[in-house]
Amino acid sequence: MKKVLFAVVLLLLSAQFAVAGSYNLVTLENPPFEYTDNGKVTGVCVDVVTEAFKRMGHTVNIEMQPWGRGINLVKTGAKDGIFNALITPERKQFMVFGSTPVVNESATLFVPASSGLTYSGDLNSLKGKTIGVVKGFSYGEKFDGMVKSGALTGIDPSRDLNSNVKKLIGKRFDYYLGDGLVTMFTLNKMGKASAAKRLSPDVASTPTFVGFSKAKGLEALAADFDKTLKGMYDDGSYQKIFDKYTK
């Protein structure tokens, strides 16, 4: 009888380890959602993603990459997924997404503190202006569409957030477009909160997700992650993590 029980335990353990996996995701410096602190990758979404994978019985390694490079790594299958990604028709060709966002982000315009420029909500008012963005980022369907059509021509892409914030402070473009919370967090961290003005209304407010690589065949993992993440919203653990970094 003991031998039978031992065999059953071994079978259950082997089944558990057979389904457990280790996955490699990428993100970018985007505090307080994702950032490096004393060599450790941390932040709201890093903790949320790590906890979700733990609940799923998996381990996850998260590394920082420039956004455009990270997208290509997922597209080719060199990495398993990326966050925080806005869903676009192009990305849906090589990534699979769930329906539960890892975080809701804003596309918000900032100008140097001494600037007299304003924004009323009409994107046409940005024509002829230089606008700092992160290379490879999506800023909502309407803004992206105007860039693609050539209606907005003054786009000035940089590889990361810090480069753009430094350009904003240095008055190297007319506007900077970035997440409101992230940009203010970064300005405060640099001790430069008074060097820029946040304009209203937002250009867009969009949910962002973990995009999983179709090249790796991770459709089932994406569905499991989506279910687990929804559970974290429902049980309050998501909000606890969010409050830890933002209050």
205-245 pLDDT per residue, tens: 999 999 999 999 999 999 999 999 999 999 999 999 999 99
pLDDT at 5: 46
102-149 pLDDT per residue, tens: 999 999 999 999 999 999 999 999 999 999 999 989 999 999 999 999
The structure's pTM equals 0.84
Q: Let me know if the fold of 21-103+207-246 is the same as that of 105-205.
A: yes
pLDDT at 20: 84
CATH of 21-103+207-246, one of 1.10.10.60, 1.10.1040.10, 3.40.190.10, 3.10.20.30: 3.40.190.10
CA–CA separation, 21 and 74 (whole Å): 18
The pairing of strands 131-134 and 175-178 is parallel
Task: Grade residue 247 by pLDDT with cuts at 50, 70 and 90.
Answer: confident
Long-range pairs of 18-21 with CB within 8 A, sequence gap ≥ 24: 19/57, 20/57, 20/58, 20/59, 21/58, 21/59, 21/221
* Domain segments of the chain as ranges: 21-103+207-246, 105-205
* CB within 8 Å of 140: residues ≥ 6 apart: 86, 107, 203, 204, 206
Q: Is the pLDDT of residue 54 over 90?
A: yes
CA–CA separation, 135 and 69 (whole Å): 9
* Superfamily designation of domain 105-205: Periplasmic binding protein-like II (3.40.190.10)
